[in-house]
Amino acid sequence: MRSDGKLWGMSESPITADAPAPHWSSIRESGTVLGIRLLYRLYRLFGRRVFHGILWLVGVWYACTRPLQRRASMDFLRTHARCYPERWPSLEPGTEPGWSHTIRHFQSFGEAVLDKGLAWTATPGESDFTLIDEALVRQTLADPRGQLVIGSHFGNLEYCRGFLQATHARTVNVLVHDRHSANFVAAMSHYSPDSRLNVFQVDELDVGRILELKSRIDAGEWLFIAGDRIPLSGERRTAVVRFMGRDARAPIGPYLLARALACPVKLMFAWREGQQVFVDLQEFSEKVELPRKGRDEALTRYAAQFALALEAAAARAPFQWFNFYPFWGTATLD
């Protein structure tokens, strides 16, 4: 820990990039508070089927007007298709995902935004979920200890947070690092002012914030943090990992925080397929250890372990990947 109370990270290591890539936080938001509320109202008025059709038009507009996000979508989908061709039976040999797939990608994101809203305004039942490892879910819910849960921008963790709050009386705390998430919270709080989901918007984790989070963990609450986006401070507190055959940067903050909180760590991925939401809760570490000697190597191993699990999840459902920025640090596609 630094003398100013902020968590140290690793030293910067090189990564190859074809062109300078913007930080994800600098990319213009995909929706405003009014836009999110409008989407939710359309769903309430017309139902999911009509809403799905409206989202196709939104996807066309988005693909035409947001070139950076469109290129990022194509980059991911094409990388996925090269790594997992068996997931793309509709592609003709020698072809790659194109505009129609990107439109579908944006359409899936709109569906996820709706599900985020429903997590705040409705009471999801257990029948809405398919649990990949039901025994582990039951065991973890029965554990009175607080948990650090590392998620991602794959799929829709908000739906599971709503599930935890509504059916298992869990207080869920979420760490976010950007104003995008704050806008979403503002929109949904309008519909659910009594939500037991606490959102902490932070740029850095200082001693005071860590002590507050530690007290919540000790009280049996859960803390969610994303493990797939580099911090606002840039690449200094990141590790280079392999993701779908390419080098990518992953934050080391979640593992530094886990060490400070001294609590069990789980991974959780949730994604929609048709009418079902699949939930994959995984063991990660009972206690994150960072030895003084070889500390950077240990952090890299934890980040690589997360990247491997994230890739396995994203391999199943490519259109549930919602990192619409140059994830690998390049932006070279047309």
Reported as a single tens digit per residue, the pLDDT across 216-255 is 999 999 999 999 988 766 567 889 999 999 999 999 999 9
Average pLDDT score over residue span 169-185: 68
Residue 329 lies in a domain: no
Average pLDDT score over residue span 109-113: 85
Q: Quick check: 333 pLDDT over 60? A: no
Residue 221 lies in a domain: yes
Residue 16 lies in a domain: no
Among 46-50, 99-103, 197-201, 311-315, whose mean pLDDT is lowest?
A: 197-201
Q: Which residue has the higher pLDDT, 163 or 330?
A: 163
Average pLDDT score over residue span 6-29: 41
Q: For residue 278, give Cα distances in angstroms to 55, 127, 313.
A: 22, 11, 10
Reported as a single tens digit per residue, the pLDDT across 54-103 is 889 989 999 999 999 999 999 999 999 999 999 999 999 889 999 999 99
Q: Which residue has the higher pLDDT, 122 or 293?
A: 293
Q: What is the pLDDT of residue 165?
A: 58
Q: Would you give the end-to-end CA distance of the chain in angstroms?
A: 43
Q: Quick check: 17 pLDDT over 60? A: no
Q: What is the pLDDT of residue 266?
A: 96
Q: What is the pLDDT of residue 5?
A: 38
CB atoms < 10 A from the CB of 127, how many?
Answer: 7
**266 membership: H or E segment, kind and range:** strand 265-273
Average pLDDT score over residue span 129-147: 90
Residue 298 lies in a domain: yes
Residue 5 lies in a domain: no
> 147-151 and 222-226: which strand pairing?
parallel
| ∠ CA 98-115-186, rounded to 5° | 110
Residue 99 lies in a domain: yes
Beta bridge partners of 200: 175
Among 42-46, 72-76, 276-280, 286-290, whose mean pLDDT is lowest?
A: 42-46
Average pLDDT score over residue span 299-321: 96
Residue 14 lies in a domain: no
Q: What is the pLDDT of residue 308?
A: 98
Please name which of 49, 72, 156 lies closest in space to residue 112, comparing C-alpha atoms.
156
Q: Quick check: 293 pLDDT over 60? A: yes
Q: What is the pLDDT of residue 282?
A: 96
Please state the domain count of the chain.
1
Q: Which domain holds residue 251?
A: 24-320
Residue 334 lies in a domain: no
Mean pLDDT of the chain: 80
Question: What's the whole-model pTM score?
Answer: 0.83
